[in-house]
Amino acid sequence: MSPVEGETAVSPPKRKSLLWSSFYQKMVDSKNVSAPPVSAMELEMRRYLEYQCIAREEDPLKCWEDMASSLPKLSQLTMQYLAIPATSVPSERLFSMESLSQSNGSF
């Protein structure tokens, strides 16, 4: 049937698609869910992992001093462990000097 002059055509109500309404509801629900809290240390680790590796010639202590403002907790931790000598030479030298002094008869 065509509309009579002066009357407007009324379109039938649109049927909502169950698929799209379900999809839309899931989108709305997912935006309302908050992410679990992230610790400050985890954020620092993420920032650290984004840094480029330093060259072998560079001083790691100097590098960590430069990063101390952006990675305060990690830089404290690394300064503690980077300060440890990586060899056993100083302790071996101490023991060999002790054996030399004992062999000379002086205590």
Pairwise CA distance, residues 99 & 105, whole Å: 10
Q: For the whole model, what pTM was predicted?
A: 0.44
Q: How far apart are CA 24 and CA 7, in angstroms?
A: 35
Structure tokens at 51: 């840094």
**86: confidence class by pLDDT, cuts 50, 70, 90:** low
70 part of a folded domain: yes
Q: Is the pLDDT of residue 1 over 60?
A: no
Domain around 62: 58-86
CA dist 62 → 66, 77, 99 (Å): 6, 14, 38
pLDDT tens across 29-68, in order? 776 666 677 888 899 999 999 988 888 889 888 888 899 9
Does residue 9 belong to any structural domain of this protein? no
User: Quick one: pLDDT band at residue 6, thresholds 50, 70, 90?
Assistant: low
What is the tally of structural domains in the chain? 1
Residue 16 inside a domain? The answer is no
Distances from the Cα of 81 to the Cαs of 92, 104, 106, in angstroms?
20, 37, 37
The chain-wide mean pLDDT, for the chain, equals 74
Any domain includes 53? no
- How many residues can be counted in the chain? 107
Is 81 part of a structural domain of the chain? yes
Q: How far apart are CA 43 and CA 47, in angstroms?
A: 6
Residue 78 within any structural domain of the chain: yes
Inside any domain, residue 79: yes
Would the pLDDT of 107 be above 70? no
Residue 30, domain member (yes or no): no
Instruction: Answer yes or no: is pLDDT of 2 > 70.
Output: no
Whether the pLDDT of residue 11 is over 60: the answer is no
